[in-house]
């Protein structure tokens, strides 16, 4: 986002319990994040972790800072910030960062699922298994795997699956698209989950908005139009399974095309709901699609049978009131 500010903090596991349905706080949540969390762990000595802390505690603490009850030393820093907050904003921030479910109880569940070789219900084949690896080698539509997988990075926020997917896909074009120069990687051009938020995209949905709600398939399409590529969004409720398969194969066959999937991962048997990840390969004998999961901390990439994946794309996204589907990305 900025160079003078050395980094935008990444945030991973610790917000697992937070619901994307929470309203975005009016104050800039990034202000809090800049000190309180990098990858969920604050890296300045005296800064506590606030994600996953009790909402009541966070609310009381902010009020104590605001009233001056907590002051002196480093408490003066929080006092200066809390004094700018209304009571309603304190409630919003406490709700945003605080969760009732603790991180410790949430994490092992997902990792148990990940550890299962054949997935939650046996219908998925994870890339990390022998069968999963073999399918990549057998696949006639595997070029995107080798193009995109090297650039895959885990989503920085629970809601950043679309952002992480776009960054990986755009970087996979290497110099065929104009990539911004990220300050931390200067002078090498590279898409990050921060610099995707150019001015035009912030108009579509702000950084904070995406932190809170993620992006719908339509918004992914709008974002991509501002990123030097040509997107086509394909909604599952307007196409049958064969047509969707055909779109995927078109995308995988064309070296200038990539495919981004929007689906409900709960329907394929994984823990979670609406999700976005790049598609990397298609395996004809098993009629399955390799999804490069950008939530790598939850699941490795998985081969998902096409009929099951179609159902997962048909799911209605409550944010857009439309079905999910595919974003086909092409370079000009």
- Binding positions for other proteins, rule: CB under 8 A: 1-7, 9, 28, 31, 34-35, 38, 43-44, 46-47, 72-77, 79-81, 183-187, 199
Q: Is 12 helix (H, G, I), strand (E, B) or coil?
A: coil
Q: Closer CB to other proteins, residue 28 or residue 238?
A: 28
Q: Closer CB to other proteins, residue 22 or residue 41?
A: 41
What's the gap between Cα 325 and its chain centre? 16
Among 168, 326, 187, CA closest to 261: 326
With beta carbons less than 8 A apart as the criterion, state whether 61 and 32 touch.
Answer: no
With beta carbons less than 8 A apart as the criterion, state whether 235 and 325 touch.
Answer: yes
Q: Closer CB to other proteins, residue 62 or residue 148?
A: 62
Region label for 161, one of left (φ > 0), alpha (ψ between -120 and 50) or beta (otherwise): alpha
> b/e for 154-183, b at 16 or more Cβ within 10 A?
bbbbbbbbbbbbbbbbbbbbeeebebbebb
With beta carbons less than 8 A apart as the criterion, state whether 260 and 280 touch.
Answer: no
* Gap between the Cα atoms of 305 and 303, Å rounded: 7
CB of 211 to other proteins, least distance (A): 15
Q: Closer CB to other proteins, residue 77 or residue 117?
A: 77
CB of 36 to other proteins, least distance (A): 9
CB of 294 to other proteins, least distance (A): 23
What's the gap between Cα 89 and its chain centre? 25
Q: Closer CB to other proteins, residue 47 or residue 249?
A: 47
CB of 93 to other proteins, least distance (A): 15
Contacts (Cβ under 8 Å, ≥6 apart) of 159: 20, 210, 211, 212, 213, 214
CB of 39 to other proteins, least distance (A): 11
Q: Closer CB to other proteins, residue 84 or residue 116?
A: 84
Among 81, 67, 83, CA closest to 34: 81
CB of 110 to other proteins, least distance (A): 27
Residues of the chain by 3-state class (helix, strand, coil), percent to 5: 40, 15, 45
Q: Closer CB to other proteins, residue 147 or residue 156?
A: 156
- Supply φ then ψ for residue 276, to 5 degrees: -135, 135
CB of 10 to other proteins, least distance (A): 11
Tokens describing residue 24:
């975005």
CB of 227 to other proteins, least distance (A): 18
Q: Closer CB to other proteins, residue 140 or residue 185?
A: 185
């Amino acid at each position: 986002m900025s160079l003078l500010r050395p980094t935008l903090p990444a945030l991973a596991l610790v917000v697992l319990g937070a619901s994307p349905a929470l309203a975005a706080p009016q104050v800039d949540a990034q202000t809090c994040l800049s000190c309180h969390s990098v990858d969920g762990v604050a890296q300045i000595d005296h800064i506590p972790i606030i994600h996953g802390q009790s909402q009541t505690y966070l609310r009381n603490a902010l009020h104590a800072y605001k009233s001056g009850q907590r002051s002196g030393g480093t408490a003066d820093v929080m006092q200066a910030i809390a004094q700018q907050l209304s009571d309603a904003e304190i409630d919003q921030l406490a709700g945003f960062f605080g969760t009732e479910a603790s991180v410790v109880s949430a994490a092992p569940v997902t990792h148990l699922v990940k550890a299962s070789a054949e997935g939650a219900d046996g219908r998925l084949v994870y890339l990390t298994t022998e069968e999963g690896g073999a399918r990549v080698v057998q696949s006639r539509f595997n070029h995107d795997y080798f193009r995109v997988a090297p650039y895959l990075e885990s989503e920085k926020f629970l809601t950043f699956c679309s952002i992480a997917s776009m960054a990986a896909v755009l970087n996979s074009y290497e110099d065929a698209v104009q990539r911004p120069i990220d300050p931390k990687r200067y002078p090498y051009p590279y898409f990050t989950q921060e610099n995707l938020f150019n001015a035009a995209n912030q108009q579509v949905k702000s950084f904070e908005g995406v932190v809170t709600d993620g992006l719908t398939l339509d918004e992914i399409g709008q974002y991509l139009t501002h990123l030097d590529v040509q997107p086509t969004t394909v909604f599952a409720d307007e196409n049958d399974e064969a047509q969707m398969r055909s779109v995927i194969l078109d995308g995988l066959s064309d070296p200038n095309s990539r495919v981004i999937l929007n689906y409900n991962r709960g329907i394929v048997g994984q823990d979670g709901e609406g999700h976005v990840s790049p598609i990397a390969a298609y395996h004809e004998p098993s009629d399955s699609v390799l999804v490069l999961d950008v939530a790598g901390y939850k699941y490795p990439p998985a081969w998902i049978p096409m009929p099951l994946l179609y159902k997962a794309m048909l799911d209605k996204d409550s944010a857009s009131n439309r079905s999910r589907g595919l974003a086909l990305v092409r370079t000009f």
